[in-house]
Amino acid sequence: MRGDLAAILKDAPTAVRRAMIEDEPNLAPGAAHVMGRFWSAARECKSYSSMPGAEAYRAAAASESTFRCLLRALATYAPHVSTAHARLVSEEWYDRRRIPGAKAVRQKARRDGAIWPLSWRRMKSSLDAAAIESSTRKRYTASIDRCATVVAEGLASERLGFIAACELSEAFLFHPDEARRVKPVTAGNYIEGLIALGARGGVSEESLTAMRVISSDLRDQSSLEEKNKYERLSALMERGGYGHVADRIGALRARAHALPAHSAARRRCMQQAVVCAVIVNKPPRKSDLVSWRFGDQIARDVDGTWRAEWEQEKTGGGTETGAIWPEICEILDEWILDGRPDRLVHIRYQELVGRNWLTLDDNEPYRNLPTELTKAAIGVPSHDLRTLAADYMRRHDPAHAANVIAAHLGHGTRQAGEAYRAECDGVAAQAIWQEARMTIAGRLTDQPASARQKIEREKRFMDSPAGEL
């Protein structure tokens, strides 16, 4: 016997109580009692009936199985109720379930070079004193940290030279943990940081030259991989380019709206949608994207306009989006609300100030998260959308696109955008040449026969290899 449902559910909203009473034969074991305790706790805590607080969930369920039963009952009999605060309680139950030794612990701030081998630490002062840009020194230090981690795992030698570079390359490309494998160009950059340390620290030139051979080989491998990128972009353009990206964002939002506010699937869908949307507006590098915090790099004005402004890790230069497109501001609002009613957006933003924009908490996600999200959403890594943006601008106005692309993508030097600049120059030249051909063709119709023959000879000459020179 379940008892008198009307009495058990006395504090539940009328519509919820009526729905459960009418469906009494099909109620899951324990569903009525946990729902009764939940709504009584919500009333006692003076929570909004449309979005009860976390305290109500904690008071209603003394075990995780009971808590999950409550969530299923809410999804069935009170789908209009936002369960956003249930996420906090759900995470608490997950934490209790984890093995103590495997529990994730936030990495403590540590002194630069603390994990380096002793021989590397002795050379650090020379690198610190080198006459290089602070952003370059920061990049070198981060690269050496990556190499030091591999050495600490016993996968590479600390003695700088050919063998160490080979072992580091092998570890970076084929690490036992697949999540920690990197592309050849990234591995080459890490080793370049170590070469810079050795060059300032007195390592023999022969050893450094041997390491540069490995670094150069990694960059050659990277050049070969560029073909794969253009094949991916070609396939994306065939699917509609940015139009396809927009359609996928819309589909992800629709799917998220159909899921309960507390579900991990809903947050993942919105996470994919918001990352794709922000990259469409202006494509930051993934290393910058994962570090943004509300109220600092990305902020919301009182009128609902979002803006982003940040210092680029790779170049050290600043860049910004200006006012983000209204359609994308709407998606950002949905993301931070995380299933809450729209009227709470201002309060919710203030709660999140200082927190990471991708995790909605104090923790910063791993660097490759944007790539994983865009691959899952549209089939290409996040960096490909930078190239796609450049391709759109090149086609729109090739004569001026090179400088626009450099500003839009945040290139720190002219050399950084040489490949894009060469493509823009080529497209501009083709446009000029096509215009000249059209002019000649137009003159043919307005000239007498003898003049047309002369123009035709001129046109054939221009179309010949000699004319192109």
pTM of the model: 0.60
Work out the average pLDDT over 344-348.
94
The pLDDT tens digits of the residues spanning 255-294 come to: 999 888 888 888 999 999 999 999 988 888 888 899 999 9
Cβ neighbours around 130 below 10 Å, total: 14
- Reduced to 3 states (helix: H, G, I; strand: E, B; else coil), residue 308 is strand
Q: Yes or no: say if 355 and 340 are a contact pair by the CB < 8 Å rule.
A: no
Q: How far is CA 375 from the centre of its chain?
A: 10
- For position 329, what pLDDT does the model report? 95
Packing angle between helix 64-77 and helix 86-97, nearest 10 degrees? 150
Question: In terms of C-beta density within 10 A (0-12 exposed, 13-18 middle, 19 or more buried), how is residue 176 classed?
Answer: exposed
Lowest mean pLDDT among 7-16, 220-229, 336-345: 220-229
Tell me the C-alpha distance between 32 and 5, whole Å: 7
The pLDDT tens digits of the residues spanning 100-135 come to: 443 333 343 345 667 899 899 999 999 988 888 888
Residues constituting the chain: 469
> What value does the mean pLDDT of the chain take?
81
Q: Yes or no: say if 421 and 400 are a contact pair by the CB < 8 Å rule.
A: no
Q: How far is CA 138 from CA 110, 170, 233, in A?
A: 15, 24, 32
Q: How far is CA 303 from CA 45, 49, 296, in A?
A: 32, 28, 18
The contacts of residue 460 (CB under 8 Å, 6+ apart) are: none
- For position 1, what pLDDT does the model report? 40
Asked if the model's pLDDT at residue 463 lies above 70, the reply is no
The pLDDT tens digits of the residues spanning 169-214 come to: 989 988 888 778 888 888 999 999 999 999 999 999 999 999 999 9
Tell me the C-alpha distance between 252 and 78, whole Å: 23
Region of 456 on the Ramachandran plot (φ > 0 left; ψ -120 to 50 alpha; else beta): alpha
Structure tokens at 234: 């070609």
- For position 107, what pLDDT does the model report? 41
- For position 212, what pLDDT does the model report? 93
Lowest mean pLDDT among 246-255, 411-420, 457-466: 411-420
More confident of the two residues 429 and 219 = 219
The pLDDT tens digits of the residues spanning 24-67 come to: 998 989 999 999 999 999 999 888 888 999 999 999 999 999 99
Helix/strand/coil (H/E/C) assignment for every residue in 451-465: HHHHHHHHHHHHHCH
Rounded percentage of the chain residues whose pLDDT exceeds 70: 77
Q: Yes or no: say if 455 and 443 are a contact pair by the CB < 8 Å rule.
A: yes
